[in-house]
Amino acid sequence: MIDFSKYPLPKRWRHHVAPYLYFAFNKNNPKPETYPDLLNEIDWKKIYKNGRPPDCLDIGSAWSRFLMKYALGNPNENILGIEVRRQTVKYANDVIQKESLGNAHALWYSMANGLDFIEDKSISKIFYFFPDPWFKERHKKRRAFGQEMISECHRILKRDGILYLQSDIEEVHSFHKGELERSGFFKFYEPSDKEWSLPTTDKEEDCLKKEIKYWRLVAGKK
């Protein structure tokens, strides 16, 4: 177990970041100074102790506590977190380094640019948990989960790979189901707690504490 009390979160931080970070690089011209680099490839030998590419992705990894719990419980799997908030990525990698987790890493990156640095059919699990709901109609275009992301998930997942989704917003849960159906790439179902068997996220623990309902989906390739 990691004693996260040793690693307090920053007292001042912004939950939301500049809107342009939610859009692809080619929609930001010129490139803002605070926009993450585009990536075509990554030297995984510099990232993971075993030198192998990632087995799992945590998209929207935030402070990466789920990522670290998963890495600790699955030492033979490499997990990569992808997060648009730079401050949370720095926090995560500082903790990962201090805890000597050689199979975990957080990457400052915008999903809007795709996942060209991930090989086809190389990922076993993708986690996409409690994304920002973006309720306002004019803000819904910032949602990462759309046809482009679903297509990328389908490309990089192994034949028996699994996409896991969670949300505490029923409208977002319905949106996820609708987008999956529209893609035609995945079959999915709502699992029981016993079928889920994954580490809890901070948000999930908060929901349980406050008795807030949340929804889950498990999706596999057709």
What is the set of active-site residues?
132
Report the SS3 class of residue 215. strand
**CA-wise closest residue to 72 among 45, 102, 107:** 102
Query: Are residues 133 and 178 in contact, defined by beta-carbon separation less than 8 angstroms?
Result: no
What HEC string does 89-144 produce?
Answer: HHHHHHHHHHCCCCCEEEEECCHHHCCCCCCCCCEEEEEEECCCCCCCHHHHHHCC
CA dist., res. 170 & res. 135, Å (int)? 12
- Collapsing DSSP states into helix, strand and coil, what is residue 1? coil
The answer to whether residues 192 and 159 touch, using CB atoms and an 8 Å cutoff, is no
Q: Which residues have C-beta within 8 Å of that of residue 212, sequence separation ≥ 6?
A: 168, 206
Q: Given its phi and psi angles, is residue 113 left (phi above 0), alpha (psi -120 to 50 degrees) or beta? A: alpha
